[in-house]
Amino acid sequence: MSPHPSDAPTVASRGVLTTANGNPVDNNQTSMTAGTLGPVVLQDFHLIDKLAHFDRERIPERVVHAKGAGAHGYFEVTKDISHLTCAKFLSKVGKRTPVFTRFSTVGGELGSADTARDPRGFSVKFYTEEGNWDMVGNNTPIFFIRDPIKFPDFIHTQKRHPQTHLPDATMMWDFWSLVPESLHQVTILMSDRGIPDGFRHMHGYSSHTLKLVKADGSFHYVKWHFRTEQGIKNIMPDEAARLAGVDPNYATRDLFSAIERGEHPAWRVYVQVFTQEEALKYRFNPFDVTKVVSQKDFPLHEVGRMVLNRNPENYFAEVEQSAFCPSHMVPGIAPSPDRMLQGRLFSYADTHRHRLGTNYHQIPINRPIHGVNNHQRDGSMAINGNGGSAPNYEPNSYGGPAQNNLAGQTYAANFNVQGEVARHTYELTDDDFVQVGALYNLFSNEQKNRLATTIASGLSQTPVFIQKRQLGHFYRADKDYGRRVEAALKAAGSKI
């Protein structure tokens, strides 16, 4: 569906074209010159202003999740969970909160194809009466690594080779084979689930464990699930490759067009809930984002429903400038000790300061609906009045905002921590392969064959020593998994 009107506007209905400082423009088709054949003159401010702004139109793209699409909508509470949290937007059934959601691929640049084999970002900004909560997740319940110190290295392997400037299978598989905790996510990525059919036909997950906190500071751990009402659909590799050539913006187009047609995509929202004691006793570390918390052990509890019903008016203003930060939490929601989450609490806000500026939170799409009241001042593009004449320090004797002591309880959700400050290493154990094997055995015979073929298509391009190292991980997860991949590698011409 085209965003263009069917009829051109009349001249009388069009506004007057102006310069950036509001002066009317007399001629937007011809530069000012010294005579008919003479050079352009410097005093043509409209020309200079127009070119100078054009030269600066592009801002740094996101270092990850650069290619994406977004939409506005609402979240409505459908089940009472007020016994678990004091978050006001979750306080009663029927309560609606406006949201903005951005979907994305992870590794590709702004111009990359929507049908890449890649995880999908699934981020939701809830505009609550207590400020914004950003649920910054993915379309998979797990991730490749569990320590943020590995994240820059991992992302480098998903980007381009520093010499050839080409995607490089050896970089990818070398890293994955040396970081076996990645096998769970690699298995999902290389399976039929690796290329979702657009953004409407996939689930979303917080991936990390978070906390829901009550007013007294007591809390439960939770994992958030957004389950699509459109049904899960995926794209096979040949069709994905075709679409990458003929319609690289396939998912972006699909989302926009569906909303324009009135087919508003929706997701049912659930949480898995468990206590501190259950977390400590659980077989798998619930703060290790390379592992799932089984729904058999901790079933899903419905919370609400998210509906996307309005397209952005301007992509750059609303989608490109949207800034999602896991550290943006409201009273009643708090972080867990998940190491990757702890790293993201810093990194996301930091990258937005680089990409959008110190005052990125003042950009309309990122503003809380009830305003901001603090002592932060100045910085590039401070456009919200900058606090006026109010004191810019605290404590002070002259008024202004004061802390909310209750919020301290509901943010921190205090819990005991003991131990020596050191670089404590996660030791690789069989637990890192158990869930991979269980996932593999959920696949049909045909799905297992396609998984092995997809893996071999990339892994066969790497040196044999990397193939052998990675093959050992497949065998450790499940012997049949290893055998099928080994056979697929040989069929692809590997000398393994």
Q: Give the active site residues.
A: 65, 138
DSSP 374: S
How far is Cα 366 from Cα 60, in angstroms, rounded to an integer? 18
Residue (of 100, 77, 54) closest to 365 by Cα position: 100
- Residue 432 CB-density burial (10 A; 0-12 exposed, 13-18 middle, 19+ buried): buried
Q: Residue 272 phi/psi, 5° resolution? A: -95, 135
Provide the 10 A C-beta neighbour count for residue 20: 11
Q: What is the Cα 443 distance to its own chain's centre?
A: 27
H or E element in which residue 251 lies = helix 250-260
How far is Cα 200 from Cα 53, in angstroms, rounded to an integer? 36
Query: CB within 8 A of 203, min separation 6: which ones?
Result: 139, 225, 226, 227, 228, 232, 267
N-term to C-term CA, the chain: 51
- From residue 96, give the alpha-carbon distance in Å to each of 19, 36, 88, 124: 41, 63, 11, 14
How far is Cα 36 from Cα 391, in angstroms, rounded to an integer? 59
Is position 360 annotated in a ligand binding site? no
What beta strand segments (E) does 332-455 contain?
333-335
How far is Cα 159 from Cα 262, in angstroms, rounded to an integer? 37
% helix, strand, coil for the chain, step of 5: 35, 15, 50
How far is Cα 301 from Cα 223, in angstroms, rounded to an integer? 10
How far is Cα 438 from Cα 295, in angstroms, rounded to an integer? 14
DSSP 289-355: TTSPPPTTTS-EEEEEEEEEEE--S-HIIIIIT----TT---TTEEE-S-HHHHHHHHHHHHHHHHH
Provide the 10 A C-beta neighbour count for residue 280: 9
**Cβ–Cβ < 8 Å for 142, 292:** yes
Q: What is the Cα 211 distance to its own chain's centre?
A: 19
Please give the annotated binding residues, written as ranges.
Answer: 348
Please give the annotated binding residues for heme, written as ranges.
Answer: 348
